[in-house]
């Protein structure tokens, strides 16, 4: 077992007040570890240190956003945190169904960094944001996260059809303007949920687009950015950590050319891609995933799908949630403006 030291991937922002778990009980030899984030022993026991605080739905009143948690499936413990702008006008707002990052293995809709980012996104983009808390690998390997994401989308559909449930957000939601979004592994989930939704009737929902922020894909052959991108405090993903996440998330016996990891490895399904809505892909210049993100954009465009992409200069993976540098804050505002423009252009 090789221990992967990626503590710097989370320690980008001192204001996060990170806390490392103190439970050092050993249940067996450790077989996979990303230091400070996840540890898996040979018996299958998984330990996730409390690196990022879990926070309540409370938000500063001046932000003008209401947040509440809602249960989607009590049996599998799928839930979502909603962010609803307190609009002064009577118009209904687009809905962004968002999936958090974390290599499919860590992360939560209650993490403080996502709570802050998505509350601000809801306010600045004038959208309702539904942040889905899906089940994590390795206890729940792929495609469980995709299934949870689709279940969340169908739950929204059911609520829209019945008009019952959480009226406080439904009354402000335009179900004809729905977007799937996420960052890193969450962007991978958004892409795959969009593909899976093709075989389902979403009426009265209309899926208008996907917003893929630094989408997490991989492959057996290394790209140039994977091989030569210098790791620094500006990027929250190392190549070794990426490999570990994929070993933990993919089904047993699968390698990184599995289509869930590398959809380009065995060719692109053009007919399926043409049925998917437009995509916005947000790429970070200092991210090891930069080349894969750009390859994805090219493949989507070749398949006939409308795709827009933006490269954010001088920042790395997950900068919008894990870094408080002045450059990151500037780029985050740019990203929110691009998302707002993309949503507005399709509504």
Query: Which residues are designated catalytic?
Result: 184
CA 271 centroid distance within chain:
25
Q: For every residue of 191-203, which 3-state class applies, written as one string?
A: HHHHHHHCCCCCC
Backbone angles phi, psi at 4, to 5 degrees: -105, 120
Return the C-alpha torsion angle 306, 311, 312, 316, nearest 10. Answer: 110
Backbone angles phi, psi at 265, to 5 degrees: -65, -40
CA distance between the termini of the chain: 50
127 CB-contact burial (10 Å; exposed 0-12 / middle 13-18 / buried 19+): buried
* Structural contact between residues 125 and 336, judged by C-beta atoms closer than 8 angstroms: yes
Q: 87: helix, coil or strand?
A: coil
According to DSSP, residue 7 is labeled G
* DSSP conformation letters of 303-343: TT--EEEEEETT--TTHHHH--SHHHHHHHHHHHHHHHHHH
Closest CA to 249 of 29, 22, 46, 8: 46
């Amino acid at each position: 077992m090789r221990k992967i030291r990626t503590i710097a991937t989370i320690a980008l922002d001192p204001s996060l007040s990170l806390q490392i778990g103190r439970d050092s009980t050993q249940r067996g030899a450790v077989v996979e570890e990303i230091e400070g984030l996840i540890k898996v022993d040979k018996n299958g026991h998984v330990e996730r240190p409390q690196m990022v605080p879990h926070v309540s739905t409370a938000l500063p009143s001046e932000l003008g956003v209401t947040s509440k948690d809602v249960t989607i499936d009590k049996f599998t413990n799928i839930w979502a945190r909603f962010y609803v702008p307190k609009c002064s006008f009577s118009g209904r707002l687009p809905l962004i169904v968002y999936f958090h990052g974390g290599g499919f293995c860590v992360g939560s809709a209650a993490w403080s960094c996502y709570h802050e980012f998505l509350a601000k996104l809801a306010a600045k983009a004038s959208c309702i944001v539904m942040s889905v808390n899906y089940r994590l690998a390795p206890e729940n390997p792929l495609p469980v996260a995709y299934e949870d994401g689709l279940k969340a989308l169908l739950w929204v559909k059911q609520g829209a059809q019945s008009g019952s449930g959480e009226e406080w957000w439904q009354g402000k939601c335009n179900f004809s303007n729905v977007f799937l979004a996420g960052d890193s592994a969450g962007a991978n989930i958004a892409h795959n949920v969009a593909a899976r939704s093709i075989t389902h009737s979403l009426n009265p929902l209309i899926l208008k687009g996907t917003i893929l922020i630094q989408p997490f894909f991989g492959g057996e052959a290394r790209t140039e950015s994977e091989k030569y991108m210098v790791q620094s405090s500006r990027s929250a993903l190392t190549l070794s950590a990426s490999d570990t996440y994929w070993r933990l998330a993919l089904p047993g016996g699968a390698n990184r050319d599995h289509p869930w990891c590398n959809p380009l490895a065995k060719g692109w399904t053009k007919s399926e891609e043409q049925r998917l809505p437009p995509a916005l892909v947000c790429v970070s210049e200092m991210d090891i995933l930069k080349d894969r993100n750009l390859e994805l954009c090219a493949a989507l465009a070749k398949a006939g799908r409308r795709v827009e992409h933006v490269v954010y200069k001088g920042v790395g993976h997950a900068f919008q949630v894990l870094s408080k540098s002045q450059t990151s804050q500037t780029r985050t505002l740019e990203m929110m403006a691009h998302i707002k423009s993309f949503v507005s252009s399709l509504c």
